[in-house]
Structure 1
Amino acid sequence: MAKDSLPHFNDQATRKECVVKNYSRRIAHVVLILGLLCIGYRYYYLPLQSTGPQPTRYCNKPLQSLSSSRLESFQQCSIDNLLNTGLYFLDTASPISVADYEERRDRLASALVADGVDAFVVEPGYTFKYYANVSQPEWEVWEPEERPFLMIVQPTQDQKTGEIKANTSFLCPSFEAERALLLGMPFSEPIQIIPWEEHWNPYSTLMESQAISSQNGTPRLMVDEEMRDFIQRGLSSAGFDVVGLKGRVEQVRQTKSESEVGILRAVNTGTVEAVRQMRKCLYPGLTESEITEVLDNTLRAAGLEPFFDIVLFDENAANPHGGTNGSKVLEAETFILIDVGAHLYGYSSDICRTFFPPFFKKPSCGASTPEHIKEKLKVQPLLFNAEPLLTTTQVWDIVFEAQTQSIHQMRENSTAASTDIAARDVISEAGYGETFTHRVGHGIGIKAHESPYLNKGNVNTLLKSGMTFTSEPGIYLVDNFGVRHEDVLLVQGHDEPVLLTGTRAGGPWDP
């Protein structure tokens, strides 16, 4: 092909015509490119110049819904406020060490002996994460694997000292064995793999392995609630006696170590602080969804990863976990309920605050309340309550007192039921018992919701030192508003529990 990319023509006139057409196309391309550049300058570059520098984008996450400079300023204000605290709450947190994981497995081994169980078997999930630092997505990111990859923890006893230690092995597809070793699981000794080929029965392979075959009688295995049914049935069909999670084994994860408490304190205090600092930046016209996104990005700026965030205004908060589309608009007298959780080093926060926005000023002592505010605060009579009506602030105080009484019950050997009943009694005596529609709390750790669960029917579970719980009573008035306070606490003997959320709310204007 010639330099000008034209074919060879014998006819000079034809050649000239082709050259003209070719260069005409090139000129058209240049004109098109110049036009696109002009459009870009008009609609992209000039607006950037007029609105000033753009805010920092944290964690490389695009702020898809923040379409206006005012929204971006709101986010920047929220993030700056939180960063300006110095992130003091992170001082108590550090990653769980290999020694901590080994201590957990040794405690599990002792619990297995106490419960008369030969081995504890788990697949990737929260419990696997607790004992070996591998979650289900970290093993198979797309979906739970149909090929069983199981951790088997067995107790062994030192014949000289009598000390019980954990012996841990992994039943793993042969072709995945190398990948299992590359997971970086927290072991100071070489990891033991029991491989199985695709055409083998994995459960029979485990039964015939040296780890199991040396035992006398039918091996008893304990599994937790995350173990899928087909694996439990497979183990049973191979001759194992499979039992569910209970007893001392269940208490191992329920009782938190000093390291775990440090992380829980950091992530829960940090989540509360993020809500408080974000609140200072609120302005009328924001939607529930916009506040949700800004709060999420504020948490990320501090190194916390949100995994749920519920923002509800007024009557939307009468449904404890929402369900509306997030489009309700913030007004001066809006009652805001935020229930949010984040992760740090694999541990969860779960806190809730109910409050007024900062631009709705708190009435001064003795000042008369404007009529339109009284109307906003008025609560419609409940069919089952003939008592005088209460305002939102009074309802806020009732829920706070209910939480206080619940917290007082969080002591060694109190029943799980007693913590719920203590809160429920306060709300019922105020005439709002029917509006407290859920349990008062739950355990919290690697999972946001863990056992034990604090409901009035759980009369047989006793609280123990080292357990961590939420206390989150609420009152939900349909078509009006909802109020819930949620903090996280550590049971500490017979003393008052230790607050792991920094400080409790101080009032509707001080979350």
Structure 2
Amino acid sequence: MLLQNDPKDVSQNWNKDMHAIRTYSQHCADNIHMVAPQDFVKRHENLARTLQNDDDAFAYVMEPSATMLYFANIGWSRTERPFVIIYSLDDTSATGVAMTIVTPMFEATRAQEQLIKAKLPSDVPVEVVTWIEHESPYETILSVLESKQRRAGQSKTKVYVEATTRLFVAKGISDAIPASSSLATAVASQAIQQLRMVKTPVEVDLMRCAARVTHFAVQKVHPYVKPGLKESEVAAMMTEALAHGGLEETWVVALVDENAALPHGNPAHENVVQPGSLILIDTGGSFYGYQSDLTRTFFAAGDADHTIKTNQTLLDAWQSVKNAQQAVIDTMKKGNSCAQVDLTARHII
């Protein structure tokens, strides 16, 4: 959003740049394959194979999360009322696992609507189980797990819980298991967690596209960051640019001068861009379900005579970080650990 006193030609240029972002985003999306319904079949088959190869586990429980979106294509907000999906080994299923949604009864219709929106193929069998307000959701979850354990075979007793599950939900499930039961819960194994960590070529393309659209949006906003703008106004421009790029759930941190030294911002006061100010924009969003996260630091334009009053210390610091960034890119290769990559930058800075 531009300031109201911007001249007409600036406003027209802004509109052209926003159109350019839309065009760039559409071109990027048109040249990649989106995640298709059959991809969820493959994900379920991989999950089934991983559970089958596990000596003890037969089920995987998850709250609304990126993991739920990955396996079920269902987005749901976490509330005080548990909503979970349980995947369990099932040799009658074409994919090797059955999918059970456990939802508050009053949310059952919404859950069914989300299932329709998910467009999961018929190879994915889904059951919806509800719990009533005056009953324990954990007793309902336990009942489902006991039923699924019998189907999977009594030799399997472990229930994996997705790693980001809230403590009160994980503990609620664990505490509901009676002492006489053979069932036990555990945080999902590394093998289970890596199913989502290791990306397919389609996912890599989507992540790359998300990053490119975000970067292009920052490039288009950059020339409009001029002396007199508040940090909030810079953030507003960036938010608008991301929206034109088709990104959802966007976020922006825009910081000026000394505020840029604060990790993730939240300064006590809002700075105004001055000639030669140091500008930091940390931003991103969701592009067809895949996140971007990008930070760029640059200097604002100078006075009318194009003079930029920036001290050498700041310039040297910027260049040091730039050098570290390039070294990190050169180090990010197969076989190198994340720690090695991190230390590469730290040693330079």
What TM-score does the superposition give when structure 2 sets the normalisation length? Answer: 0.83
- Tell me what 2:261 maps to: 318
State whether residues 92 and 262 of structure 1, in contact with CA within 8 Å, keep that contact through their aligned partners in structure 2: no
Q: Any idea what the Cα deviations from partners look like across 1:448-500, whole Å, max 9, x if unmatched?
A: xxxxxxxxxxxxxxxxxxxxxxxxxxxxxxxxxxxxxxxxxxxxxxxxxxxxx
Structure-2 separation of matches of 1:207 and 1:421: 45
| CA distance in structure 2 between the aligned counterparts of 1:169 and 1:320, rounded to whole angstroms | 41
Question: What is residue 151 of structure 1 aligned with on the other side?
Answer: 85
Q: Distance in 2 between matches of 1:253 and 1:311?
A: 31
SS at match of 1:341: strand
1:42 matched residue in structure 2: none
- Give how far 1:360 is off: 6.8
Deviation at 1:320, TM superposition (A): 2.6
CA drift of 1:358 comes to 4.4
Q: Deviations over 1:48-83 (max 9, x none)?
A: xxxxxxxxxxxxxxx6xx662328976663342142
Partner of 2:6, secondary structure, is helix
Q: From the superposition, tell whether residues 173 and 158 of structure 1 become closer, same or farther in structure 2 (CA, over 3 Å).
A: closer
Aligned to 1:125: 65
SS at match of 1:135: coil
* Pairing 1:415–2:349 present: no
Match of 2:327 among 394, 401, 405: 405
Deviation of the 1:291 alpha carbon: 0.9
| Partner of residue 244, structure 2 | 301
Which whole-Å CA distance do the structure 2 matches of 1:158 and 1:195 have between them? 23
For residue 502 of structure 1, what is the aligned residue in structure 2? none
Q: Report matched runs for 1:30-69 at 5 Å.
A: 68-69=4-5
* Counterpart-to-counterpart distance in 2, 1:164 and 1:72: 59
Alignment match, 1:170: 101
State the alpha-carbon separation in 2 of the partners of residues 181 and 317 from structure 1: 46
Q: Is residue 77 of structure 1 aligned with residue 13 of structure 2? A: yes
Alpha-carbon distance in 1 for matches of 2:305, 2:343: 33
Change (3 A) 1:287 1:76: farther
Aligned equivalent of 2:169: 231
* Contact 1:104–1:131 under 8 Å retained in 2: yes
Aligned counterparts of 2:256 and 2:88: Cα–Cα separation in 1? 51
Q: 1:298 & 1:166 partners in 2: Cα distance?
A: 42
Tell me if the contact between 2:278 and 2:300 (Cα under 8 Å) persists in the aligned partners: yes
Summarize deviations over 1:334-359 as a string: whole Å, max 9, x none: 11111111111122110011112345
SS in 2 for 1:182: helix
Query: Contact between 1:77 and 1:281, CA under 8 Å: does it hold in 2?
Result: no
Q: Cα–Cα, structure 1 residues 253 and 359, in superposed 2: closer, same or farther, change >3 Å? A: same
Task: Please tell me whether residue 103 in structure 1 is matched to residue 37 in structure 2.
Answer: no
Paired position in structure 2 for 1:280: 223
Q: Which residue of 1 aligns with 2:120?
A: 187
1:154 deviates by: 2.5
- Residues 329-368 of structure 1 mapped to structure 2, 5 A cutoff: 329-359=272-302
Q: Residue 224 of structure 2: SS of its match in structure 1?
A: coil
Deviation at 1:418, TM superposition (A): 0.8
- Are 1:212 and 2:176 counterparts? no
Q: Partner of 2:199: helix, strand, or coil?
A: coil
1:89 paired with 2:28, answer yes
CA separation of 1:316/1:176 partners in 2, compared to 1, >3 Å: closer, same or farther? closer
Relative distance call for 1:260 and 1:67 in structure 2 (3 A) is same
Deviates more, 1:392-401 or 1:341-350: 392-401
- Cα drift, residue 329 of structure 1: 1.7
Match of 1:395 in 2: 317
Question: Given the superposition, is the C-alpha separation of residues 336 and 253 from structure 1 closer, same or farther in structure 2, using an over 3 Å criterion?
Answer: same
Aligned AA for 1:234? G
Q: Give the percent of matched residue pairs that are identical in Structure 1 and Structure 2.
A: 27
Shift of the 212–195 alpha-carbon distance from structure 1 to 2, 3 Å rule, reads farther
Output the CA distance in 1 between the equivalents of 2:208 and 2:304.
31
CA deviation digits over 1:347-400, x for unaligned, max 9? Answer: 21100111123457999xxxxxx8x83xx3143xxxxxxxxxxxx333222212
Q: Choose between structure 1 and 2: higher helix proportion.
A: 2
Say which is worse superposed, 195-204 or 249-258, in terms of deviation: 195-204
Kindly tell me: are residues 326 and 275 of structure 1, through their superposed partners in 2, closer, same or farther at Cα, counting changes over 3 Å? farther
> How many residues get paired?
332
Corresponding residue of 2:347: 425
CA distance in 2, matches of 1:244, 1:324: 37
Q: Displacement, 1:269?
A: 0.7
How far off its partner does 1:96 sit? 2.4
Shift of the 347–181 alpha-carbon distance from structure 1 to 2, 3 Å rule, reads same
| Structure 2 contact 41–95 (Cα < 8 Å) conserved | no
- 8 A contact 1:92–1:265 mirrored in 2: no
Q: Which runs of 5+ in 1 are unaligned?
A: 1-62, 138-142, 364-369, 380-391, 428-511
Deviation at 1:247, TM superposition (A): 1.3
Distance in 2, matches of 1:195 and 1:318, equals: 49
Match for 1:403: what amino acid?
Q
Deviations 1:99-156 (A, max 9, x none): 122222222222223343211111222211121122233xxxxx6142x332111245
Give the letter for the 2:333 counterpart: R
| Secondary structure, counterpart of 1:278 in structure 2 | helix
Q: Which moved more, 1:242-251 or 1:105-114?
A: 105-114
For the residues of structure 1 that align with 2:92 and 2:142, how far apart are their CA atoms? 29
Letter of the aligned partner of 1:192 in structure 2? E
Per the alignment, do residues 152 and 421 of structure 1 end up closer, same or farther by CA in structure 2, a change over 3 Å counting? same
The answer as to whether partners of 1:75 and 1:294 remain within 8 angstroms in 2 is: no
Residue deviations 1:141-180 (CA, integer Å, cap 9, x gap): xx6142x332111245699xxx973332223345544432
